[in-house]
Structure 1
Amino acid sequence: MSEPLLAARELVKHYGGVEALRGASFTAHAGEVVALVGDNGAGKSTLVKCLSGAETPDSGTIAFDGAEVTLPSPTAARALGIETVYQDLAVAPDLDPAANLFLGREIRRRGLLGALGVLDRAEMRRRAAESFADLGVSLQSLDVPIGSLSGGQRQSVAVARSVVWASRLVFMDEPTAALGVVQRERVLDVVRRVRDRGLAVVLISHNMPEVLAVADRVEVLRLGRRVARFTAADTTVEELVGAMTGALTQEER
């Protein structure tokens, strides 16, 4: 396999007397979906925060595209082409899908109107429609507040927003949580499309059948450390659960 796009080595992170990460390592390659799994308290959220710039590890190294980097903020991560879809979505329910897609990156009108802060809503809507179509995101309407859309559609918009602005890697934290079967499949199809565009996708999920359905590789955290790595096509739910709980070590596999 080629060199990883993202490689974390021996990350340690303390919150007071709590050691959330105890030498955690992780890798992600371009053009793959790698799932990050572990029981509650395994350190998944803390690891993702460190890798997306939301937290700074106390020690350890992070390499991106072969060069060691520091990620002091999400802005620094975004500058490298890294975006994150959080479990709470962070969408603005009163704004339409196009406005949510360009939230914080609004397009202004040209000339004096733009200098006065007037937004080019028509251009944002045109680009949003193209982006949604490219990712296979089907919405009831681009003219209604996103809060009136179904859970799956809101989730798809949140995923699309990150994908549109990400050029290298996307973290997706429980992107199908609380969705029905049909809605879940739509979101997973978007995940596959993102991978097929050559981006690295890091999927954090508690849904093991879903992980095996969409991921190429799986990395398992337990008690703040990576304890196993699997090729998704060659493993089972039972093996993943065994690694998560400590009942199975990879050497036993």
Structure 2
Amino acid sequence: MADATTTTATKTALESRIFALESRLGISTSKNANQLSSGGGGDISSRIDRLFLLISRASVPSSSTSKTKAFDALSSLERDWKESKKLAAELDPGSFLARQGLPTNDSAGAPASVSAPMIYRRQEILASSDFLKDGMEQLNLAREALLLSSDIEKVPLPPQERYTKSAILSSGRYDYAMDDSVQTRLEDVAIKIKSLQKRSVAASNKMDELVDRYHMVMEAVSEKIVLADEEIVFLEASAENKKSRKGRSSVGTR
């Protein structure tokens, strides 16, 4: 009894879904709707076959007749579905890129950290495509600069010597710099520059010492001048007082 009830419920749900699909495609009529509402509606298999037939005829050209409106709607739906699948396939990073990294421990006491999914690394590379392009162009220029000359290419050499004996590195322009006498002269110049640097540092230190002493002397002189000025003011005031007292005494005697 329970199995029969489940089967009936499943059949009713399937009929409802088929009817909804038919309504969206514009192929259901009021008669079919009445049949569905009353529990009929015909064989489910035939209705599904009719839907598959519409799918197979979805490529029918557009027409203004009402009979082909369902085909046009289904064709548009199929195009949208194909475009969605195409975009999903192009934008799908894949299970490997979307997989989270493994936990890592930087040190014994540090907590475990999970690296970001590789999809973010892919996006980072795509975002820096211009920088990567410039880097590859510079690398290509460096590679072209190390191209072997025709004379060296005639003799097979190990990979290391092929680059060390390339035209840009084995040029005669470097012979002057590699000469022993030139290197000796360069070492003498370096020694002379070091000696001059030491002497200039000593002279600078001596000048700093003289300037410090000059400031000390000027501070002492300034203090003495201030004291002398105060002493002069005091003496002038004393002389004025004595002169005023002497004048008063002479007036009293008269």
TM-score (norm 1): 0.20
Higher strand residue share: 1
- Higher Cα radius of gyration: 2
- The structure with the largest helix share of the pair is 2
